[in-house]
Homo-oligomer: A and B are copies of this chain.
């Protein structure tokens, strides 16, 4: 069975174009390598009701949900209260987090900082020996920070916790074809190899290739066979290279 995942990316800064979203591609790649299928990403605004509603839809339909953003100490950080709302749980101050915050900020600790110690009741703090600042988990929801550097760092904790299914593999052919001329071939090969998903991606302005073909699946032997089947029918002079 393939485990499914969704991501809920939270932040007005993304919806107003101030910032280029930078966690989804990383998360997608990591989950792919773990054999977990990322099915959907939703990007929403900093509004508790909106976040809670989206979260409830996503967590009902997917095995795992990752939120990104909205976990700091300021008024626009509403992810944690929204998660509590979604799960109908009260926010309670966690003594472990409170102590970590007070130790870190010392006399400069503010109510804002301490807001970060308020967690939905029953939440788990995931940490390990190397990364002491924990990731919050509530049932099947992992709560990740929006700042890309910290997202990446904390994903280590999540990776340990998730375990690994049979990983997906991806192989590729780079061609100088036009998509229209290979459409029928690709459709035929995909039908002949159930379990292999073929993608076709045109590229503009690249001196090397015009279309990249990808072959994704769990069974690497089958993925290779599908790739070879395509390769054998492509016009030789239009094949640039293949990641066999």
Measured CB to CB, the residues of A under 8 A from B are 9, 12-22, 24-32, 37-46, 72-76, 105, 108-113, 115, 147, 149-150, 168, 170, 178-184, 186-187, 190, 197-205, 214, 216
Given A32-B16, A41-B42, answer yes or no on A186-B75 (Cβ-Cβ < 8 Å).
Answer: yes
Given A24-B21, A25-B21, answer yes or no on A183-B115 (Cβ-Cβ < 8 Å).
Answer: yes
**In the bound complex, do residue B39 and residue A17 qualify as a contact, i.e. CB atoms below 8 Å apart?**
no
**In the bound complex, do residue B186 and residue A16 qualify as a contact, i.e. CB atoms below 8 Å apart?**
no
Given A149-B205, A186-B74, answer yes or no on A199-B13 (Cβ-Cβ < 8 Å).
Answer: yes
Smallest CB–CB gap between A58 and chain B, Å? 11
* CB<8 Å pairs between A and B, sample of 28: A13-B201, A15-B37, A15-B38, A15-B39, A17-B25, A17-B32, A18-B199, A18-B214, A19-B25, A20-B22, A40-B45, A46-B199, A72-B202, A73-B180, A74-B182, A74-B183, A74-B186, A74-B187, A74-B200, A75-B183, A76-B199, A109-B180, A110-B180, A110-B183, A112-B182, A147-B204, A149-B204, A149-B205
